[in-house]
Amino acid sequence: MIRNIAGSVLALAGATAAVWSPFRAWYDGRHGRDYAIDELFTGITDAKGELLGSMLAPFLFAALLTLLGVVLRSRLLVAFAGFVVLGFTVLWMVRVGQAEGSLSIGGDGAGLGDGVATAFGGGILLLLGALVMSGRSRPPHHVDRPPRPTHPTLDGPPPDDTSTPEAPRAHPQTSAPYATTQTYGVPDGYDVPARGDVPARDDVPARDPEQEQGQERGNPPPQR
């Protein structure tokens, strides 16, 4: 904001100086408003041109560009106005030098006058104003961001789920109880062979099948 204000002040001061310069002496006491604008392309003569057809015309155009540039905060318009002022001033010097044979600077009013210096100063101020101005602020670029994922417990209700819930899977080690109990020992129907190196004991009575059957029936064993 401060840069735009400072640049606008410089630009307006430069435009004012450029418009005021044709009313000052340009060469040998002759004012800039006395030079017709078409003489810059055909050659300088002693004829006096009209006011709106003189050197004042391009400087008025530059002042109009400066006003638009300040209102629109356009650095390009202000800089272009400065080039217009400097360009027509340099073109006038070239044509006058061709007509006079050379350009001179005198302190007694002969040669280049203060009107040329005022025009040069106005053009430089216009360029400085364009450099100081910051121009219009650009709006920030819109960046498309992906939508933020919605958490079911924090940002809204949980989504409707009509699918059948899956039954929990049992751990493979505890999926089923032991179907059978493993018994360690001699399986049924397996005859353990008798070892021949075991000595027979005489104090062990022999088995009596009839006595064993009587014990099972509840009869007392016979006395021997």
Rounded to 5 degrees, what angle do the CA atoms 22, 25, 31 make? 55
**The predicted structure's pLDDT at residue 170:** 55
> Exposure of 7 by Cβ count < 10 A (0-12 exposed, 13-18 middle, 19+ buried)?
buried
Which range of 27-31, 104-108, 219-223 scores highest in mean pLDDT? It is 27-31
Q: Is the model's pLDDT at 33 over the cut of 50?
A: yes
Q: What's the number of CA atoms in the CB half-sphere (13 Å) around residue 88?
A: 27
Contacts of residue 19, defined as CB under 8 A and 6 or more positions apart, other chains included, come to 56, 59, 60, 63, 122
Q: Pseudo-torsion of CA 12, 13, 15, 16, nearest 10°?
A: 120
Question: pLDDT, tens digit, for every residue of 121-155?
Answer: 999 999 999 999 987 766 555 555 656 666 555 55
Give the model's confidence band at 44: pLDDT under 50 very low, under 70 low, under 90 confident, else very high.
confident
Average pLDDT on 111-122 reads 91
**What's the pTM value of the predicted model, to 2 decimals?**
0.59
**Torsion 86-88-91-96 (CA) sign:** negative
Q: According to the model, what pLDDT value does residue 167 have?
A: 58
**What's CA 5's distance to the chain center, in Å?**
29
Q: How far apart are CA 4 and CA 74, in angstroms?
A: 10
Q: How confident is the model at residue 179 (pLDDT cuts 50, 70, 90)?
A: very low
